[in-house]
Structures are given as structure tokens and as C-alpha cells.
Amino acid sequence: MKIKSTSRRRVTLGLMGASVAGILPSMVRAESGYPARPIRVVIGFAAGGGADAVARLICTSMSADLKQPMVIENRPGANGNIAADVVTKATNDGYTILYNTSSLVISPHLYTSLPYDIKRDLLPVAEVAAIPLVLVVSPRLGVKSMQEFVANLKANPRKLNYGSSGTGNITHLSAAEFLRQVGAKASHVPYKSEAPAVTDLLGGHIDFYIGNANTLIPHVADKKLTALAVTSLQRLPSLPDVPTLDQTVAKGLEMVAWSGFMVPKGTPDAVIAKLASTAERVLKTQTLRSRIEETGAMVRWAGTSEYGRILESETDRWGKAVKASGVRPE
């Protein structure tokens, strides 16, 4: 499907000078008065999930600061691609923005044809949060540390199995990358979503899983699952006794489901700057930071330029992970 460019029409200097003089001030006034109406925030995952919960907390605070509602629109499906496509087709005036997750940079390596292109059709605003993953095992394995778990994996190649929320999902690729880093092998059991994977792990039908912290922490607290490591470089406040992969068996390895805001290509720089500065301001408040941490996520800030560089490096990184995992693009 061919995407038509939604970039702003450029005004050519030297033609109709008087008209240009009248147009430019009106454009400046329009942008300086942004936002003048509610902002639609499209997210590619269902309401109630980890990414949705964090997005709603951030958007509620930003709404109060901007004095305009930021209305969440859930468009789940296709690993976030449906939501991204909706935003690339929207008017580039700052009133439709994308709350994207790291799936955005994984999708180009999983699908042979996408209706949009990240570089061509979207612009970064800011990275705002990350949901660390947690490596949990079934208590029936009887392991209490990452070192003990890796030794078990190496002594029993491919005999242990791990679940994922779907082939090519970050829960699959993170497990594959972990196994590659420690030099171990295990069997992959893909599920259609996180819920059935966790259910089977609780039932002892699979041995381990690397999934979203906010989903797994309640089961760890109830001692129904054993948390061996978190995938961020820092320990989680909600799991202070659980070490990181970096501290145990995989030095320097970090795998988190990060998220941020993006807008259609051609959105005015002033609008992007307004959204980024507002997000940065509200994320500095301790109340919001604490509420985000309570969900199992954490604030992770990167401004517009830095977020652009992160998107490029993460696209390359997860491309290599997809290739190493053996997943074939659909």
C-alpha cells in the first residue's frame, strides 16, 4: 500500500511575497497557540496492558500541563503496526500522535511489507518510559540463582523450554538473546499473548519466561514464580533483592520494552518541541515518577534528537537479534 506524503506544503520565497508575509505570521500564531483542542494519542496495544497503563499516567499529567485533554485511542494488533499506520496517515498538525513501544523497531525485521516506513513517515518527539523484563522460572525447577539456572540450561541443552507472547515478540527475542549471550539452548513455545504464557508457566507446563515486570511481579510476590533477574541495568524498586543480568551472567546486557512519542512526518518543529518539553517537565515530578514505578515501569527520558539516535541504534540491534533467533519475516 502506497502512503501519500502528509508533509506541509513549502512556501517558495520570491513568489507572491505579499501573501507569504501574511501566511507566515498566521502559522507562527497557530503553532504558538498549540494545543487549542484535544490531542489524540494512538497506542498499538489493548487497554489495561503495561504500555497502556504507563501511557495513561503520562498523558493525564501532560493534559493538565497543556490544559487540553490527551485522549488515548487503543488500536491493538499486528505488533503495533496498525496504530503506527493510523498515525502516519493523520494530519501532521500535532493533534494525532503515536505512543510507540520498542515493537516499532522490531516490526521492519519481521514483516516483508509494511504500510509505513519509520524514517519516511514518522518523527521522534521523546522517549519517556521503559518496562523492564523479568526472567522468572517455575518453582518446580528448584533453582535459586541465575548462575544455578544457567548451569542447568547448559547441562540439559534444549530440554528446558521457555514461553513467549508470540514469535518475534520482544519476549521471544529477549529470551533468544539471553540464551545466545550465555551460550545455552532451550526450546521455544510461542503463545498468542502474555496471559496464556504466564498461565502455563504457573501450571508448570513451561520452565521459564522473560516478560513484562508489571505482569509478573504479583506472581513473584505470591511466591508462585521465582524471579532470578531483571533485564534493566538497574535493579527495580519493586524487586530490590532481584539482581540484573548485568550483575550475574551477562555483563552489559540490557533488554527493556521502552516507549515514547512520535508524530507524522512534517509536524511543525514548534509543536514537537512543545510536546517534548511538556513530557520532560511532568516526568520530573516525583508523584508521576512514583506512580510509574508502582506499575513496574520506570521513567526513561531522551529528548528529540537523542530519541532519534536511539531509534536508529535499536533498529539495528533488534535486527541482529531477529536474525540470530532464526525468525523468518512474514
pLDDT at 31: 58
- Mean pLDDT, the chain, whole residue set: 89
- Given a cut of 60, whether residue 4 has pLDDT beyond it is no
Position 294 confidence tier, pLDDT thresholds 50, 70, 90: confident
Q: How many CA atoms lie within 13 A of 151 on its CB side?
A: 8
pLDDT at 327: 82
pLDDT digit string, tens, across residues 99-158: 999 999 999 998 888 999 999 999 999 999 998 999 999 999 999 999 999 999 999 999
Position 227 confidence tier, pLDDT thresholds 50, 70, 90: very high
Concatenated DSSP letters for 241-265?
TSPBTTTTTSTT---EEEEEEEEET
pLDDT at 32: 66
Tell me if 36-131+257-325 shares its fold with 132-230: yes
Q: Which of 175-179, 227-231, 292-296 has the lowest mean pLDDT?
A: 292-296
pLDDT digit string, tens, across residues 61-100: 999 999 999 999 999 888 889 999 999 999 999 999 999 9
Query: Are 179 and 153 a contacting pair, CB within 8 Å?
Result: yes
pLDDT at 325: 83
132-230 in CATH: which number? 3.40.190.10
pLDDT digit string, tens, across residues 236-265: 888 999 999 999 999 999 999 899 999 999
Collapse the DSSP code of 43 into the 3-class scheme (helix H, G, I; strand E, B; otherwise coil) and give the result.
strand
Q: How is residue 310 written as a grid cell? A: 536511539
Pairwise CA distance, residues 70 & 72, whole Å = 6
- Given a cut of 50, whether residue 229 has pLDDT beyond it is yes
- Sequence ranges of the domains in the chain: 36-131+257-325, 132-230
Position 11 confidence tier, pLDDT thresholds 50, 70, 90: very low
- Give the residue-averaged pLDDT of 162-179: 91
36-131+257-325 in CATH: which number? 3.40.190.150
pLDDT at 19: 39
Pairwise CA distance, residues 320 & 314, whole Å = 10
pLDDT at 195: 86
Q: Helix, strand, coil: what percent of the chain each, to 5?
A: 45, 20, 35
Position 167 confidence tier, pLDDT thresholds 50, 70, 90: confident
Q: Which of 201-205, 213-217, 240-244, 262-266 has the lowest mean pLDDT?
A: 213-217
Residue 227: enclosing H or E segment and its boundaries? strand 226-230
DSSP single-letter state for residue 139: G
Pairwise CA distance, residues 320 & 25, whole Å = 47
pLDDT at 296: 82
